[in-house]
Amino acid sequence: MIKAVLTIDDIASANTPALVDYLVEKHIPALMFAVGEHIEKYPENVIYALQHGMVVGNHSYSHPDFAGIPYEEGIREIEKCEELLEDIYRKAGVERNYRPFRFPYGSKGGKNKDKYEQYFRDNGFSKLDDRKIGYSWWKESGLDKDIDTLWTFDFAEYRIRPGSGFSITNVLKRVHDSDPAEGGVLLEEGSYHIILMHDHEETLAMVPDYYKIMLEHVMENGVTFERPEFL
Ligand SMILES: [Zn+2]
């Protein structure tokens, strides 16, 4: 048995409702991280995700690399997205029970990392339940203590871009990588994962139905998706 929580970054896009429909059809409850600017662009699509049972968390307002901006600017990025999330949950008529956050690019805020983690603790942000992750490096890196949500497996499908030479074949190969340079071995029996994928129109233009191809492939190979729970 391989279990995983599916996380989907950078929502919303024009395709979000179709993505949500697919997740509902496959009984995959996902944790989605929204970019504030994308909430402003596609509010109805975020409402659609909320009303179909997805949890939507904070992925900053404009998706900067937090290692490269002052701490105060980072807090403004987080709080601006928080305001939009409060508003969109209200408009959706869905109670907001959890406040997960994910750093863009997984950068953790560089030298300000500890300050951000303290901010998350002081301001009621939610930690995804990661207690079933068995990788020693998860604890050795202190990730079990961090409030923000990182991942253990990245599909890296955002690398499929014109001229990149990276294709859906490469994405599916990574699923079977038994010695990945980063993250954990996805198909290791008994493992537990936080899987990362993205809601990107650019990827969809390159590979129609990319998310169906990826998710069906991992499910065929024994991965079961669980509801995100928080500590
Ligand atoms: Zn992102």
Dihedral sign of CA atoms 170, 175, 180, 182 in order: positive
Give residue 111 CA to ligand 1 midpoint distance, Å. Answer: 20
Element (H, E) at 2: strand 2-11
Residue-level pLDDT at 196: 98
Give residue 34 CA to ligand 1 midpoint distance, Å. Answer: 8
Residue-level pLDDT at 170: 97
Give residue 63 CA to ligand 1 midpoint distance, Å. Answer: 6
pLDDT in tens, 9-18: 999 999 999 9
Give residue 57 CA to ligand 1 midpoint distance, Å. Answer: 12
Dihedral sign of CA atoms 7, 12, 18, 24 in order: positive
Mean pLDDT of the chain: 97
Give residue 199 CA to ligand 1 midpoint distance, Å. Answer: 9
Confidence bin at 229 (pLDDT 50/70/90): very high
How far the first Cα of the chain sits from its last, in Å, is 23
Q: Extract the runs of DSSP E, i.e. beta strands, from the chain.
A: 2-11, 31-34, 55-58, 153-154, 192-198, 223-225
* Distance from C-alpha of 44 to C-alpha of 26, rounded to nearest angstrom: 22
Q: Extract the runs of DSSP E, i.e. beta strands, from 119-211.
A: 153-154, 192-198
pLDDT in tens, 77-102: 999 999 999 999 999 999 999 999 99
Residue-level pLDDT at 90: 98
Give residue 107 CA to ligand 1 midpoint distance, Å. Answer: 10
- Separation in Å, CA 213 to CA 155, 204, 229: 12, 11, 26
